[in-house]
Chains A and B, each alone.
Chain A
């Protein structure tokens, strides 16, 4: 059972195409693993066995009829609960959307389904994707499959944990400041944040619209490439969607000889766990041994990314979350005077971190403070973009740690928002620049916790990012390790 659940998407496709297994068998195996383990891991907010098995049966039927081969036909996937999937609740990890069922699906979800994917259910997230641990979910905290006392990272922690635990072959997350890459690193899986504009945001509940991107998580680099290829492409329903160069999953198998790999010195500073730094430096050496050239580069405004992000993202969030007013969806609290109904509905519906960011963003945009905070941060954003432009003029990709530490303990950072924000210190700058970044496993620390390597690239050049990541993955064994979870039972 667990062997089927731990197939890569590519391996599963081979077995499905040769009819050695059926999509129903595969989906059933993954569902059984969810029933056996998710009481402990808590990756899913909603599991949809009826939907999943019906879709799997339809996939088997299509294949039996000899329908044209689809890239994801019969592959069971999980969807972060901030993406709309028609017919299943979309809570965004919030009480304010407790019983909300979207009447449509996100474009990215629609495209995966059109490619034949099977939908297992919806995964846990920090409320409205605001967090780095899933501890801000209004429902429960997801556990790290490598150590149940630790966080899986966030905000796409449910998706990362599901993939790491063999409870989905792949998953979708969303990344505003690191929310796909950081949980991928902490759970030992592969996660990609595409270039801003590559994947349509239609049907993704908005957090910070100039930063949000939907990204895939899976257990191998080729699997992530396959999921990205299935979702990518222009969508007229998202005005910021771009007709980007298509992803050719076959092209990523090229070698890395002659590629220039920049190592930004500002990403190896105090506060980085020594084992993380050592693993990432060893990964650079591995790629050099494969024929790449390592280049020392500087991204001088790195230190300013965190304060700039924590003004820009909350400012955008304060506007985006104004729609949750208890009038068209979600519970309505009060019901007397209009103004008071808004205040009560929002006061009770939002959790502490969401309120904190709405407050921060409202303040940064308010009369008298706009120039000093929001405008200043937006100018600093330009400086950060220029840093990347300059470094990526000389280099094909940049390599750095994804997160400063491996998974921390549940509860360790909950009382100190700034300490929690520092979890994202190595992923935020790339988000502000709108560039693509991928995290993949590059080692384990002394406690057996996975370490993530971040590969950052040029705008719409996911192909080179994937190629470098694939070359590293093919030369190492880290991605083959599995958490011991459930194996003693």
Chain B
């Protein structure tokens, strides 16, 4: 299994990661060798084995819909890189509605 530079660029795009040329080069090499190592899983016959996503028997957890104290607004905003009027300020998300 080798990961081409184009594949690395595609995955980086999916993951929203800006990579330098040197990183693309290195990741192509390193990820290929890790995936090659992972190939050994294919040797196992897992045809009818159910997958484990969690070791616990998960159930939906419900609670009463009661009003309770929550994180104060200012505290929730305290780490914001940009804010205006008590909102997180972000670059334009939807174009053309200005």
Which residues on A are within 8 Å of B, measured CB to CB?
99-101, 103-104, 196-197, 210, 236, 239-240, 242, 301, 303-304, 306-308, 310-311, 318, 322, 325-332, 335-344, 346-348, 350, 352, 355-356, 358-360, 362-363, 366, 372-373, 375-383, 385, 417-418, 432-434, 459
Quick one: which of B16, B27, B33, B72 contacts A343, CB cutoff 8 A? B16
- Of A318, A344, A382, A433, the residue contacting B51 (CB under 8 A) is A382
In the complex, besides A236-B63, A355-B23, 20 extra interface pairs with C-beta distance below 8 angstroms are A103-B79, A240-B58, A304-B41, A307-B38, A327-B88, A329-B79, A331-B81, A338-B90, A343-B17, A346-B15, A352-B23, A356-B27, A359-B31, A363-B7, A366-B11, A375-B51, A376-B42, A377-B38, A417-B34, A418-B37
Binary per-residue interface labels of chain B (33-53) against chain A in the complex, 1 for a CB within 8 Å, 0 otherwise: 111011111101010011111
CA A332 to CA B88, docked complex, whole Å: 12
Determine the chain A residues whose CB is within 8 A of the CB of B19 once the complex forms.
347, 355
B5 to chain A, nearest CB (A): 13
Overall SS of chain A's interface: helix
Interface of B: prevailing SS = loop
Residue of B with least CB distance to A338: B91
Mask: chain B, 7-36; 1 = CB below 8 Å from A; 0 = not: 110011011111100010011001101110
| B97 located at the interface, meaning its Cβ lies under 8 Å from any Cβ of chain A in the complex | no
CB distance from B50 to the nearest CB of A (A): 6
- Determine how close the nearest CB of chain B comes to the CB of A323; give it in whole angstroms: 11
Most chain-A CB neighbours within 10 Å: which of B3, B27, B81? Answer: B81
- B30 CB to nearest A CB, Å: 6
B76–chain A nearest beta-carbon distance, Å: 7
- B interface vs A, CB < 8 Å? 3, 7-8, 11-12, 14-19, 23, 26-27, 30-31, 33-35, 37-42, 44, 46, 49-56, 58, 61, 63, 71-72, 75-76, 78-82, 88, 90-93
Distance, CA A383 to CA B49, complexed state (A): 8
Give the residue of A197, A311, A362 whose beta carbon is less than 8 angstroms from that of B15: A362
Which chain B residues border A328 with CB–CB below 8 Å?
79-80, 88
Question: Among the listed B11, B26, B53, which residue makes an inter-chain contact with A362, where contact means beta carbons less than 8 Å apart?
Answer: B11
Flag if A307 contacts B41 (CB, 8 Å): yes
User: For A360, what are the chain B residues with a Cβ–Cβ distance below 8 Å?
Assistant: 31, 34-35
